[in-house]
Structures are given as structure tokens and as C-alpha cells.
Amino acid sequence: MEGDIAQMGQFIGAGIAGLGAGLAALGVGNVAGNFLAGAMRNHSAAGGQTATIFIGIAFAEALGIFSFLVALLLMFAVT
Amino acid sequence: MADAPAGGGLSIKPMDQFEVLPLFGGTEIRMFTITNVTLWMFLAVLVITLILVLGSRGRAVVPSRAQSIAEMAYGFVYNMVIDVAGKDAGKFFPYIMTLFMFILTANLLGLIPTAFTTTSHIAVTAIMAFAVFITVTVVGIVKNGTDFLSLFWVSSAPLILRPILAVIELISYFVRPVSHSVRLAGAITAGHAVMKVFAGFAAFAAIAPLAIIAMVAIYALEFLVAGIQAYVFAILTCVYLKDALHPHH
């Protein structure tokens, strides 16, 4: 298998950037888990916080998507 | 991608589905060339018009199916705007309803097999995100004048920390349109690429049943994501609007 070293660096970089998506999963799981833990203790307050949890998930998720974007840029946009 | 492996082997091209192509021949794309993006955005507008305008035309007491969809969407978005951004944000409700319905419909239309997902392009989402950013900034300045700058001056923090916080708040304010647009486009792109990869796995007989089962599960997840991303885009618009209308921390 042939190829130049720059391309190898590109692919390795894309793989490392992909790790960020997994780390963002930790963040999203943390948000949702803590929400559930709080909601189990106080059911009546949980209903009003639906918007808050979605905002929290969105912010945590966005950073994972940034790393996905970096991976995509390395794979397809960098020449 | 790099070069496809020659002579069979694994050759999945998950990004080919996002290619913008002219509809009526030719390969050149100019400013007003009708492309598949144009077609699918037009279809999204058409579907929204059919549901919201024609569907609720009857104004029946017992609503038809289209009318009850329209009523549910209206009530859902209206409650969201009032809850998150406050009572005086009611006059921005039509704008947020437009954004929500367009993104939701474009996402759902993109889930039809062989369809084109317009919201997977940053060009499409960035226009919406920058429109929101400019609207919110202008509204904030017009409504509060220089008081709008207190959004960046956190008066509840200790005095020594406030300049540092002001810089952080300023950066986070100006990165909003980027994260707003990349979140939607990235989530949709990622989902569709994953579906394409699993569809590619189905070509191998050994893992085909597993790939098809996984495909069904991912499709259901993407259906959920289509709704959630539209909701998140609309609710973040409401949050930004709340910051503009009531800039005090």
C-alpha cells in the first residue's frame, strides 16, 4: 500500500479528532443522568425543566459535532 | 476521500449523498442555478404551506388530521416562545415558528430514501443562524440601547473578575452563529453518513442481517434527531432573544 506521509497524518488526525465525539457522549450522558437523578427526587419540578435539559444537551453535543467537523475537514477538505 | 480501493473490497462513499448538482443538465453552478437543494427547499415550503394553510382552512371544531398537526405545532412553538423568552417575545413568534417548521420539515423530508437533506449544508443553516444573530443583536440594541452591553458585564461577579468574564462573554456571544449553524448541519450530516455506512455494510452477505437491523434502529434515532435538532434550533433562538430583550443577568 502506497501513499504519502502527509495523507497518513491527515487520516491519523481525523481519527484523533473523532475521539472528541466520544468524549462529547460522556458530557451528554452526564447531563441526562444528572437530570434524571434530580427528577427522581422531585417529580413535580421535572416537567418544567424540559427546555433546560435540551439546551444543556445541545451545548454539550455541539462540541462533539465540532470535533466531527474537524475530522470531516481533514478527510475531505484538506488536500 | 482518498482513492477508492481498486478491485472490489470495501468501498463506501458516505459523503456522496450531500453533493449539490444542477437539476436541468450541465455541471456549472452559478448564483441562480436550480439545484437539488433548491428543489428540496421548495418541497419543504410546499409541505408547510399545505399543512398550515390548506390543512387548517376548514377551521373545524373537531379538527381534521392536517388541522390538528397545524394546531399542535402552533401551540407547541407558542408555549416554547412564551416560556423561554417571556411574554413580550410574543411578537417574534411568527419568526421562530417559521424557523422551526422549515427545519423540521426539511429534516423529515431528508429522511425519505434518495431524498436530499438541505439542512445538512452549512450554507443553508448558516444563513438562518446569521439571520437570527443579526436580528437578535439589532433587537437588543434598539430595545435597550447601551444597556444591552450589560449582557457582557456580569454584575453579580466580583469586580476583579468582571473584565475577564466580559472577554469570555464577548467571545461566546460572537461564536453563537457558528455553533448554532454547525450544530444543526453537523448532527444531520453525521446521522446521514452513519446511515450510508451501515447501508454499505449490507452489501456483504455475512453481516447483512445485522446491518439491516442496525439500519432500522439508526433510522428511528435519526427520526428523533430530526425533531430534536429543529426543537434545539428554535429554543436556542428563544434563549438568544431572551438575552436581547432582558440583558441583565
Give the residue ranges of DSSP H helices in chain B: 36-49, 65-85, 93-110, 122-144, 162-174, 176-201, 208-245
Q: Cβ–Cβ of A55/B182 closer than 8 Å?
A: no
Q: Can you tell me the distance from the alpha carbon of B67 to that of A64, in angstroms, rounded to the nearest whole number?
A: 38
Q: Is B12 on the interface with A (CB under 8 A)?
A: no
Residues in B 31-90 with any Cβ partner in A closer than 8 A = 80, 83-84
Which residues in chain A are closer than 8 Å to B196, comparing Cβ atoms? Answer: none
Residues in A 16-75 with any Cβ partner in B closer than 8 A = 21, 51, 54-55, 57-58, 61-62, 65-66, 68-69, 72, 75
Task: List chain B pLDDT tens, one digit each, 249 residues.
Answer: 444 444 445 677 777 888 888 888 777 888 888 888 999 999 999 999 998 888 888 788 888 888 899 999 999 999 999 988 988 898 999 999 999 999 999 999 999 988 899 999 999 999 999 999 999 999 999 999 888 888 888 888 888 999 999 999 999 999 999 989 999 999 999 889 888 888 888 888 888 888 889 899 999 989 999 999 999 999 999 999 999 998 876
Of B2, B84, B186, the CB nearest to A65: B186
Q: Can you tell me the distance from the alpha carbon of B86 to that of A59, in angstroms, rounded to the nearest whole number?
A: 22
Of B159, B87, B174, B72, the C-alpha closest to B129 is B174
Task: Look up the pTM and report it.
Answer: 0.86
Which residues in chain A are closer than 8 Å to B235, comparing Cβ atoms? Answer: 51, 54-55, 58
Which residues in chain B are closer than 8 Å to A58, comparing Cβ atoms? Answer: 183, 232, 235-236
Residue that has been written with the C-alpha cell 444542477 in this structure = B22
Q: Is B221 on the interface with A (CB under 8 A)?
A: no
What percent of chain B clears pLDDT 70, i.e. is strictly above it?
A: 95
Per-residue pLDDT of B73-126, as tens digits, reads 999 999 999 988 988 898 999 999 999 999 999 999 999 988 899 999 999 999
CA distances from B234 to B60, B67, B104, B230, B241 (A): 28, 22, 10, 6, 11
Residue that has been written with the C-alpha cell 463506501 in this structure = B12
Distance from CA of B129 to the nearest CA of A (A): 14
Q: Cβ–Cβ of B15/A76 closer than 8 Å?
A: yes
Tally of CA atoms within 13 A in the half-sphere of A23 that contains its CB: 10
